[in-house]
């Protein structure tokens, strides 16, 4: 059973005597508005004891009070995971109300997120939290940056030769060493993109663009890549695609869209591409 302990400054003081006839069921600030209080609780108590995910209504308990979340309960076949015998499950409405009412700080509070999020929505929020740190993609760097805040790191630190700055909607030429797995592209608004390069032996090089970011921001990005043959410039190829978003690039290349440029289009050491990245408001 969950145990609560008060964590606010008044926790050790005796509660004030209740006025005669007052409603003890709700605490209010004197103006009739419900008032939250700070509490401490062992977060493990708020996770399902079977799948360890945050408890999220509907919640079910056996006749002995052992709780399971909906997806776990649906797999129990009326056998309690603790009692190990036939059980009669029922909804635990009181616990559902408690977990629905609990607000917790975001895991990225120390990076600046001030949001108090519903415990049941915590994972969803943190998946897209704007303050979730992102690893700098330059090998060996180890710096943690944030969505849309990269130019300081790339300009001030040691990467000034390792990226291209670009303006959305304007094409720019990239001369890429064929052996490099990616080139960092920095948008005018400090969003960080990677032009990925994968050697697809025996065909050629596959190029695509990903954006390292978190958060459901107001922008969606697209890109175009053009390549022309070094032997016969009339032979050219082009890709228009939407940019894939990622928290970090772990060496996996997008499979939905990429431009496969034959070796004939490249010199032995370098590849020249025309690239543009577009930005539009997401709906």
Which residues would be at the binding site for Zn ion (CB under 5 A)?
A: 48, 50-51, 62, 64, 66, 69, 72, 80, 82-83, 106, 108, 113, 129, 136, 138, 141, 143
CB of 20 to Zn ion, least distance (A): 43
- The nearest distance, CB 71 to Zn ion, in angstroms, is 6
Q: In this complex, which beta carbon is closest to Zn ion, that of residue 121 or of residue 270?
A: 121
Task: Say how far apart CA 176 and CA 183 lie, in whole Å.
Answer: 8
For Zn ion, the closer of residues 36 and 58 by Cβ is 58
Q: Which residue, 93 or 236, is less far from Zn ion as judged by CB?
A: 93
**Residue 59 or residue 227: which is nearer to Zn ion going by CB?**
59
CA 281 to CA 215: how far, in whole Å? 14
Contacting residues for 127 by C-beta, under 8 A, at least 6 apart? 214
User: What distance in Å separates the CA atoms of residue 160 and residue 151, rounded to the nearest whole number?
Assistant: 9
CB closer to Zn ion, 96 vs 224: 96
CA distance 176 to 152: 24
Nearest approach, Cβ of residue 154 and Zn ion (Å): 7
**Token pair 């053009």: residue:** 226
Q: How far is the CB of 123 from Zn ion (least distance, A)?
A: 11
Q: Which is nearer to Zn ion, 205 or 213 (CB)?
A: 213
- Residue 114 beta carbon to Zn ion: minimum distance, rounded to whole angstroms: 8
Q: Which residue has the tokens 């710096």?
A: 143
- Please report, for residues 1, 98, 184, 195, 273, the alpha-carbon distance to residue 180 in angstroms, rounded to integers and kept in the order given: 56, 53, 11, 10, 14
Asked whether the CA dihedral 47, 49, 53, 58 is positive or negative, the reply is negative
Q: Which residue has the tokens 């709780």?
A: 67
**Cβ nearer to Zn ion, comparing 69 with 259:** 69
| Nearest distance, CB of residue 231 and Zn ion, angstroms | 38
Residues in the chain: 283
Q: Shortest Cβ distance from residue 159 to Zn ion (Å)?
A: 5
Identify the CA nearest to 147 among candidates 121, 172, 128: 128
5-6/39-40 β-pairing: antiparallel
Bridge partners, residue 143, by sequence: none
The CA angle 243-244-250, to the nearest 5 degrees, is 135
């Amino acid at each position: 059973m969950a145990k609560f302990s008060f964590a606010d400054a008044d926790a050790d003081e005796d509660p004030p005597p209740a006025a005669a006839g007052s409603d003890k069921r709700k605490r209010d600030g004197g103006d009739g508005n419900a008032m939250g209080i700070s509490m401490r609780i062992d977060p493990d108590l708020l996770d399902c004891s079977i799948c360890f995910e945050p408890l999220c209504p509907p919640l079910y308990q056996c006749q002995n009070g052992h709780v399971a979340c909906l997806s776990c309960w649906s797999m129990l076949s009326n056998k309690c995971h603790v009692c190990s015998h036939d059980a009669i499950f029922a909804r635990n409405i009181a616990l559902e109300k408690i977990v629905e009412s609990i607000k917790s700080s975001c895991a990225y509070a120390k990076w600046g997120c001030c949001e108090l999020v519903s415990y049941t929505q915590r994972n969803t929020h943190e998946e897209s939290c704007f303050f979730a740190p992102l690893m700098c993609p330059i090998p060996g760097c180890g710096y943690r940056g944030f969505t849309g805040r990269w130019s300081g790191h790339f300009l001030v630190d040691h990467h000034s030769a390792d990226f291209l700055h670009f303006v959305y909607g304007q094409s720019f030429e990239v001369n890429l060493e064929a052996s490099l797995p990616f080139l960092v592209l920095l948008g005018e608004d400090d969003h960080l993109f990677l032009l990925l390069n994968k050697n697809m032996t025996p065909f050629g090089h596959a190029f695509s663009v990903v954006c390292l970011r978190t958060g459901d921001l107001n922008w969606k990005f697209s890109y175009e890549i053009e390549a022309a043959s070094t032997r016969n410039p009339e032979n050219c190829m082009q890709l228009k695609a939407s940019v894939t978003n990622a928290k970090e690039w772990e060496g996996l290349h997008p499979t939905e869209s990429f431009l496969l440029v034959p070796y004939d289009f490249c010199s032995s050491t370098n590849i020249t591409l025309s690239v543009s990245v577009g930005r539009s408001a997401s709906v």
